[in-house]
């Protein structure tokens, strides 16, 4: 009987544990989770704060489900302090214990990347990293007088949390060092539209560096290189980084992205040691290079592949194309594949097109506009990337992602047999129009 140790009870860890149990009913599978949540959905934090979801809904399965129904040796509030060859040292509810392992999975995710400024530890400063953060924010809002909210950061979480605080009637200021929202993953043609929509509800301060958070009993203001802004609550949304300190201590290779380097079987450089989820790299299907894209769908699949192989299988995770979607109020925002800059850095000679079109015929109610930017290879017409904003974004991004994974060209996209009916789409679907403009 093999002894399996999994560090981390999030999406990848519990996916792996469940897969191993399915394939190896008699093995001992021990999962160590530092917090009080397993199989959780941190992506739901903004919607709990907004009031459209309940915090308890952010746990897909309870600890008891895994313990009683799947026979997994699950340890809650158990923090792994050190990993040695064949053994882990754990502090479990204040008591130090050691557990042997034959095969090990690092699935301990990512941690917030805090800005290097004074005051991030003040009362009233929060991150939106794990479900308990939602409860802490809600309790603070209930107990303190909060009128001004400052969000430091301009990524996905920043936008989603801005929507949540606006919905609760707060005056929101968003501060970002870069000159554009979502600068790394969206082109200026798209971010300009997002910024115009945000500016209707919040104070948007771009190209501005936060230098300090100040306050006495609790936060009172944020100081930047260009001004001072009142703040009764501050959300730090300045990114995350893979939590690799345990893996590095064991001698596991860390890739250039800062995450654990893995094979497509989720194996590391150490025999019997695997990594999956937000702590691990994956392969980008368009560039062939390792990348780090911390998103739940990939994390679950990486855990499934790692668990299959830890149980003796030969599964392969083909990689990602970087598909993501979010929204702000009535504006949907999505992307997949490479940006123009990423494609050029990868060695492609590219052509691009930006279109504005409708998501359905004008005679049927409920439709709106969608803006698309497409990137394709200049000579071979291979599709390389899509960014979209407006209405009906999900269907277009998902369709384009599958096209990317199958090496489709602009011609393939143009002649794709997409569904049409007035309640759902126009005769010329926005993707077909984009393909026509990109040419083939």
Q: Which of 165, 322, 334, 310 is nearest to 234 (CA)?
A: 165
Tell me if residue 423 falls in helix, strand or coil.
coil
Q: Which residues contact 247 (CB under 8 A, 6 or more apart)?
A: 83, 106, 254, 260, 268, 275, 279
Beta strands in 317-419 (DSSP E): 324-328, 331-337, 350-358, 369-377, 383-390
Instruction: For 174-197, give the DSSP string.
Output: EEESSSSTTTTTS-HHHHHHHHHH
Is 240:110 a contact under the CB 8 Å cutoff?
Answer: yes
Task: Give the angle subtended at the CA of 264 by the CAs of 261 and 265, to the nearest 5°.
Answer: 100
Rounded-to-integer distance, Cα 183 and Cα 199, Å: 17
Residue 267 and residue 309 in contact, taking contact as beta carbons nearer than 8 Å: yes
| Pairing relationship of beta strands 350-358 and 383-390 according to DSSP bridges | unpaired
CB–CB of 390/331 below 8 Å? Answer: yes
Nearest to 8 by CA among 196, 237, 276, 248: 276
Distance, CA of 243 to CA of 260 (rounded, Å)? 9
Catalytic residue chosen out of the listed positions 23, 24, 28, 43: 43
Catalytic site includes residue 408: no
Alpha-carbon span 242 to 248, nearest angstrom:
11
Residue 142, number of CB atoms within 10 A of its CB: 8
Give the catalytic positions in this structure.
Answer: 43
């Amino acid at each position: 009987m093999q002894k399996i140790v999994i560090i981390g009870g999030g999406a990848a860890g519990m996916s792996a544990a469940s897969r191993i149990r399915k394939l190896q009913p008699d093995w001992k599978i021990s999962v160590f989770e530092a917090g009080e949540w397993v199989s959780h959905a941190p992506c739901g934090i903004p919607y709990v704060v907004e009031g459209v979801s309940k915090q308890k809904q952010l746990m897909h399965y309870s600890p008891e489900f895994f313990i009683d129904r799947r026979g997994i040796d699950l340890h809650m509030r158990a923090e792994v302090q050190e990993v040695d060859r064949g053994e882990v040292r754990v502090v479990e509810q204040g008591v130090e214990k050691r557990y042997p392992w034959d095969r090990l999975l690092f699935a301990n995710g990512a941690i917030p990347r805090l800005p290097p400024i004074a005051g991030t530890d003040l009362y009233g400063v929060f991150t939106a990293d794990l479900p308990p953060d939602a409860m802490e924010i809600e309790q603070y809002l209930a107990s303190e007088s909060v009128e001004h909210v400052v969000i430091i950061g301009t990524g996905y979480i920043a936008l989603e949390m801005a929507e949540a605080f606006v919905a609760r009637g707060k005056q929101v200021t968003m501060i970002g060092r870069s000159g554009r929202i979502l600068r790394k993953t969206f082109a200026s043609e798209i971010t300009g539209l997002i910024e115009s929509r945000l500016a209707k509800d919040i104070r948007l301060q771009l190209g501005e560096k936060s230098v300090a958070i100040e306050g006495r009993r609790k936060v009172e203001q944020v100081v930047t290189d260009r001004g001072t802004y009142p703040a009764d609550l501050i959300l730090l949304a300045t990114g995350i980084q893979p939590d690799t300190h345990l893996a590095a201590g064991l001698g596991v290779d860390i890739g250039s992205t800062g995450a654990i380097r893995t094979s497509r079987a989720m194996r590391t450089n150490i025999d019997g040691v695997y990594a999956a989820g937000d702590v691990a790299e994956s392969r980008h299907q368009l560039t062939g290079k390792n990348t780090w894209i911390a998103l739940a769908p990939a994390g679950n699949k990486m855990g499934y592949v790692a668990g299959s192989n830890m149980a003796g299988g030969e599964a392969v995770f083909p990689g990602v194309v970087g598909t993501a979607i979010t929204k702000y109020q009535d504006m949907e925002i999505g992307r997949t594949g490479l940006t123009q800059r990423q494609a050029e850095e990868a060695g492609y000679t590219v052509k691009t097109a930006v279109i504005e079109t409708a998501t359905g015929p004008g005679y049927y109610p409920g439709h709106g506009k969608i803006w698309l930017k497409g990137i394709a290879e200049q000579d071979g017409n291979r599709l390389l990337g899509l960014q979209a904003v407006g209405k009906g974004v999900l269907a277009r991004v998902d369709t384009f992602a599958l096209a990317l994974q199958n090496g489709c060209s602009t011609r393939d996209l143009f002649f794709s047999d997409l569904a049409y009916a007035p309640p759902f789409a126009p005769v010329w679907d926005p993707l077909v129009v984009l393909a026509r403009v990109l040419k083939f």
